[in-house]
Amino acid sequence: MGLFDRFKKRFKKTDEKEITAEENSVEAEEAVEQGKRLKEALEEARPTPQEATPKPTLEIEEEWDDSDEITEDPFAKPIGRKERKKARRAASVEKAERPTESEKPTTKDPMQSTTGHDLVASGPVEIEINLGDSVTKTGGRVVMSSDKLDRILEELEEELLSSDMAQSAVEDVIHTLKATLIGSRISTTKKIEVVVEEALRSTLLRLLEAGYWDFNKTVSAHLEDSSPVVIMLVGVNGTGKTTTTAKIANRLTQQGRSVVLAAADTFRAGAIDQLAIHAERLGVRCIRSQRGGDAAAVARDAVESARARGEDVVIIDTAGRMQNKTNLMEELRKVHRVTQPHLVIFVADALAGNDAVTQAVEFQRMLRFDGAALCKLDTDAKGGAALSIAHATGRPIVLAGVGQGYDDLIDFDPAWLIDSILE
Ligand X SMILES: Nc1nc2c(ncn2[C@@H]2O[C@H](COP(=O)(O)OP(=O)(O)OP(=O)(O)O)[C@@H](O)[C@H]2O)c(=O)[nH]1
Ligand Y SMILES: Nc1nc2c(ncn2[C@@H]2O[C@H](COP(=O)(O)OP(=O)(O)O)[C@@H](O)[C@H]2O)c(=O)[nH]1
Point out which residues bind other proteins (CB under 8 A). Answer: 85, 88, 158, 161-164, 166-168, 171, 236-240, 267-278, 281, 291, 322-326, 349, 351-356, 358-359, 376, 378-382, 384-385, 404
The CB density around residue 28, as the number of other CB atoms within 10 Å, is 20
Show Cβ contacts of residue 135 under 8 Å, excluding neighbours closer than 6 positions.
Answer: 184, 185, 186, 187
Return the CA Rg of the chain.
Answer: 24
Site string for ligand Y, 246-285 (x = CB under 6 A): ----------------------x-----------------
Shortest Cβ distance from residue 111 to other proteins (Å)? 31
Residue of the chain from 2, 132, 139, 238 that contacts ligand X (CB under 6 A):
238
| Residue burial 229-262, b: 16+ Cβ < 10 Å; e: rest | bbbbbbbbeebbbbbbbbbbbbbbbeeebbbbbb
364 binds Mg ion (CB under 5 A): no
C-beta of 311 vs 378, nearer to ligand Y? 378
235 binds ligand Y (CB under 6 A): no
190 binds ligand Y (CB under 6 A): no
- With CB under 5 to 8 Å by kind, the binding choice for 162 among ligand Y, ligand X, other proteins, none is other proteins
Helix (H, G, I), strand (E, B) or coil at 72: strand
Residue of the chain from 237, 324, 415, 419 that contacts ligand Y (CB under 6 A):
237
The CB density around residue 269, as the number of other CB atoms within 10 Å, is 8
CA 257 to CA 97: how far, in whole Å? 16
324 binds ligand Y (CB under 6 A): no
320 binds ligand X (CB under 6 A): yes
Shortest Cβ distance from residue 164 to other proteins (Å)? 4
238 binds ligand Y (CB under 6 A): yes
| Residue burial 35-60, b: 16+ Cβ < 10 Å; e: rest | beebbeebeeeeeeeeeeeeeeeeee
- With CB under 5 to 8 Å by kind, the binding choice for 322 among ligand X, Mg ion, ligand Y, none is ligand Y
Q: How far is CA 64 from CA 54, 108, 335, in A?
A: 24, 32, 12
Sign of the CA dihedral running 406, 408, 413, 414: negative
Q: Per CB under 6 A, which of residues 244..273 are in contact with ligand X?
A: 265, 268, 271
Q: How far is CA 397 from CA 167, 213, 371, 384, in A?
A: 19, 9, 6, 12
CB 142 within 8 A of CB 136: no
Task: Indicate the angle between helix axes 385-393 and 192-209, nearest 10 degrees.
Answer: 70
320 binds ligand Y (CB under 6 A): yes
Shortest Cβ distance from residue 328 to ligand X (Å)? 11
Show Cβ contacts of residue 295 under 8 Å, excluding neighbours closer than 6 positions.
Answer: 264, 265, 266, 267, 318, 319, 331, 334, 335
C-beta of 180 vs 359, nearer to other proteins? 359
Site string for Mg ion, 247-276 (x = CB under 5 A): ------------------x-----------
Shortest Cβ distance from residue 65 to other proteins (Å)? 25
Tell how far CA 111 is from the center of its chain: 18
From 36-44, 116-124, 148-156, 372-380, give the range in contact with ligand X by CB under 6 A: 372-380
Contact set with ligand Y (CB under 6 A): 237-238, 268, 320, 322
Contact set with ligand X (CB under 6 A): 235, 237-243, 265, 268, 271, 319-320, 347, 375-376, 378-379, 401-404, 408
